[in-house]
Amino acid sequence: MKKIADELMQAGIEKVWTDEPLANHTTWRIGGPADLLIQPKDKASLQKALQIIHRHEIPWSVIGRGSNLLVRDRGIRGAVLKVAEGLSHCEFRGEEVCVGAGYSMIRLAVETGKMGLTGMEFAGGIPGTVGGAVYMNAGAHGSDLSRILIDAEILFENGESKVLSNEELSFSYRTSLLQKQKGIVLEARFQLRKGDSEEIAATLAANKERRRNTQPLQMPCAGSVFRNPPNDHAGRLIEAAGLKGYQIGGAQVSEKHSNFIVNCGGATAADVLTLITHVRSTILEKNGIDLHPEVLVVGEG
């Protein structure tokens, strides 16, 4: 991998690491090493990196800011492309906004509000990037990304990029086409509406206060762990089963919000996965409901 890292840097891709612990790049602060971690500085260097990776025939995967992600303890083989600061442009075009995949969703909610544009308020507590939000069809507060996305530019595995419409991305609850067809979000275009900036700011502030009071934001976590089942909430089911505060190793069902698992210190991916399995089996036994994880699990155990 050292030879490929040198080739990437010679090609002008400055941020390249070998055997980099991905615990340094996830909000859970958990994860073994990536053989090769690459952070492109722009779209052109991302495409160049993908060409080099293909030439050497090594597997690759993509991360953003590392939220909603559990990397197993032995890490990820091959190359990991980190799409973050390098693709973080934001351009307003009337009531439309075109945003790079590495742009923070929280920042986007704030900036669109300052511009007097409404529709993005739900994203004020989503800790990931625009690219990850498109991949997951991220949502909160009764809304999600599919309701405002016009289209997104996707770089596919063969090196070609294509703009896909909202319909072509096949969104459903926490799901998109990209979970079936491998590709990298480059940028996304959203349709918003004119609103009152003070009202938008008040909504964002109220949502932030509610999260501060109900979610363990001061501890390493990855957001909601389980998808909500139809007509119910995963957190309610987990709490009713007496699992709030239940702990395995360094991983604990949050005492503040039962659909969060927190890293109390030194948690491993194995701890988290064992805890997820225990929660699922308990809820299945008590309620006959199989809770499906919302977090993505990647890498080698």
Is 212 one of the catalytic residues?
no
CB burial of residue 196 (10 Å; 0-12, 13-18, 19+) = exposed
Instruction: Please report how many Cα atoms fall inside a 13 Å half-sphere around the Cα of residue 232, on the Cβ side.
Output: 16
Place of tokens 């505060």: 245
Q: Which of 45, 224, 254, 258 is catalytic?
A: 224
Task: Show the beta-strand stretches assigned E in 157-228.
Answer: 161-165, 183-191, 193-194
Q: Which of 20, 121, 187, 294 is catalytic?
A: 294
Q: Which of 65, 174, 176, 187 is catalytic?
A: 174
List the one residue out of 270, 197, 259 whose CA is nearest residue 234. 259
Separation CA 143–CA 132 (nearest Å): 16
108 contacts: CB under 8 Å, gap ≥ 6: 90, 97, 99, 120, 123, 130
Is 161 one of the catalytic residues?
no
Is 294 one of the catalytic residues?
yes
Separation CA 268–CA 195 (nearest Å): 45
28 and 73 Cβ atoms separated by less than 8 Å: no
Residue 295, φ and ψ in degrees, nearest 5: -75, 150
Q: So which residues are the catalytic ones?
A: 174, 224, 294
